[in-house]
Amino acid sequence: MIAQDERLRATNEILGGMKVIKLQAWEEKFAAFLQKMRDVECKWLYETQRKRNYATVIYWSMPTIVTSFVLATCILLDMELTYTLVFTVLATFRIIQDPIRSVPDVLSTLIQAKVSLQRLDAFLEEDELSDSIVKRDRSGQSEYAVIVDSAYLSWDPDALKPSLRDINIVIKRGQKVAVCGTIGSGKSTLLQALLGEIPKLSGKVNC
């Protein structure tokens, strides 16, 4: 499920930026990246299905094995195997057979519920972003639309290495500015910082 989530997240991000990917002719690179993540997911699926086959064989043969083991134990203990005893043992195992077969489904449901609750906990327990990250100019009288002075920004406030370091930007009102760079250079991080959606470690960000 973790591998599947990572692949779906990457797929959504790639689909969201498909226009840029097509423009830069990066299809093969991103296709190889997705295929690599898909291979990891398929590896887990293969292991799951393989072990499920083993479990299915043991699962369906277990009533016969348990019944045979009980009756063999009775013989070794020199217990008299009457019709009443044998039929009682078989009837008892027949009754508890269906509840036992539902145990794997119950365990699978519990695991899925646990993963879902962990995701909800991680989402609900995330730190709230402070309004002091970006200082807003409500008056509109300033000459500058954006001022970033020695800003250190990071997606994770506890990270030892910030995502962007020592950023200095001055943009006047009405000025057109383009943010260019390679993949992973921090373009989205910078724009998210200007929106106040990324923690500011130090420096000043005014918009």
| Judgement on whether residues 149 and 108 belong to the same structural domain of the protein | no
Rounded distance between C-alpha atoms, residue 164 and residue 130, angstroms: 19
Range of the domain at 23: 2-124
Q: How many domains does the chain have?
A: 2
Out of 124, 155, 189, pick the residue that ends a domain: 124
In a domain, 129, yes or no: no
Query: Same structural domain for residues 157 and 94?
Result: no
pLDDT tens per residue across all 207 residues of the chain: 788 888 888 888 888 888 888 888 888 888 999 999 999 999 999 998 888 888 888 877 877 787 788 888 888 888 777 878 778 877 887 787 777 777 778 888 898 899 889 888 887 877 665 555 666 666 667 777 888 888 888 777 676 777 788 888 888 888 888 888 777 777 888 888 887 777 777 777 877
**76 & 17 share domain:** yes
In angstroms, how far is the first alpha carbon of the chain from the final one? 40
pLDDT reported for residue 148: 84
Q: Considering 72, 90, 124, which residue would you say is the last residue of a domain? A: 124
Is residue 135 assigned to a domain? no
Out of 70, 92, 124, pick the residue that ends a domain.
124
What is the reported pTM? 0.43
Q: What pLDDT, on a 0 to 100 scale, did the predictor assign at position 127? A: 66
Instruction: Check residue 35 and give its pLDDT.
Output: 92
Q: Tell me what pLDDT residue 137 has.
A: 66
Distances (CA, A) of 29 to 33, 41, 57, 155, 181: 6, 19, 42, 25, 17
